[in-house]
Amino acid sequence: MNQAGQIPRHVAIIMDGNGRWAKARGKPRAFGHQQGLEALRRTVDAANELGIEHLTVFSFSTENWSRPADEIDALFGLLRLYVHRDLKRLHKAGVKIRIFGSRERLKDDLIALITECEEVTANNTAFNLNIAFNYGGRAELVDAVRSIAAAAESGKLSIDQIDENLIRNNLWSSELPDADILLRTSGEQRISNFLLWNIAYSELIFLDVLWPDFDRRDLEQAIDTFRARDRRYGGLASS
Ligand code: IPE
Ligand code: IPE
Ligand code: MG
């Protein structure tokens, strides 16, 4: 159960609707992604100020490789731009950044940039920004199963040691606490392969707002919605 006044510890967001936002304005999709980045910057500040500990955002899915090359280039360019423009400021504010997902198909210089981001901010404790990039929930589970099977095959692990903790520890998202809220913008009501293991008991919130329009008020309203929910985890209602 949520106690009155309780702020969610971990908010995960599927930032969706950039393309539709741009289309409605007669602009290219890349412009929608640019404005989506501004929404992300606002949201990081708001989440930090509101006392949330972890913000996890879906920024590029393993399935997004099926988009046209120029759109993929634009999305990759925005990750680079974000790091170049904001890393110093975020580090100064005590933000720990994780960029998690598959490293497959990523260029070496991008992997170096991701590593730099994580290393520079590794000891920060004020706030956690987790960016799911080249991420797919099923690919993450396949990778975890492979690691566990390899350990079992080599005799380092016996089968009865396999439990929920071990699986979690082998995920790309192993350092994330369970998401309290899974929020998706744009009106779509689906998970699209985001954080499958981690969201087992998340409260789902779907908003009609398109991601580039998302602001602090939307986040505050989502928190209010969350606080009105009764989380039962299979038990009985609290009142
Ligand atoms: C979210 O916006 C950004 C990514 C998926 C990378 P979309 O690009 O999916 O926007 P819509 O859903 O087409 O409006
Ligand atoms: C999910 O959005 C992925 C990200 C927000 C990065 P999509 O727009 O790719 O999801 P679908 O295709 O509508 O399921
Ligand atoms: Mg979309």
Rounded-to-integer distance, Cα 172 and Cα 195, Å: 10
Q: What is the CATH number of the domain that holds 136?
A: 3.40.1180.10
Selection from 76, 113, 72, 117 nearest residue 98 by Cα? 117
In a domain, 234, yes or no: no
pTM above 0.95, yes or no: yes
In a domain, 37, yes or no: yes
CB 149 within 8 A of CB 173: no
Rounded-to-integer distance, Cα 67 and Cα 71, Å: 7
Instruction: Return the higher-pLDDT residue of 237 and 29.
Output: 29
Domain that holds residue 66: 10-228
In a domain, 72, yes or no: yes
Q: Is 57 in the pocket of ligand 1 (CB under 6 A)?
A: no
Q: Which residue has the tokens 């998401």?
A: 179
pLDDT of residue 239: 67
Task: Give catalytic residues, as residue numbers.
Answer: 16, 64
Selection from 95, 75, 100, 71 nearest residue 171 by Cα? 100
pLDDT of residue 3: 52
Average pLDDT, the chain: 97
In a domain, 239, yes or no: no
Rounded-to-integer distance, Cα 206 and Cα 239, Å: 26
Average pLDDT over residues 108-136: 98
Q: How many domains does the chain have?
A: 1
In a domain, 175, yes or no: yes
pLDDT confidence of 118, banded at 50, 70, 90? Answer: very high
pLDDT of residue 238: 77
In a domain, 2, yes or no: no
Q: 77 C-alpha to center of ligand 3: Å?
A: 18
- DSSP label of 8: P
| Ion ligand 3, residues whose Cβ is below 5 A away | 16
pLDDT of residue 2: 46
- List pLDDT tens digits, range 175-201: 999 999 999 999 999 999 999 999 999
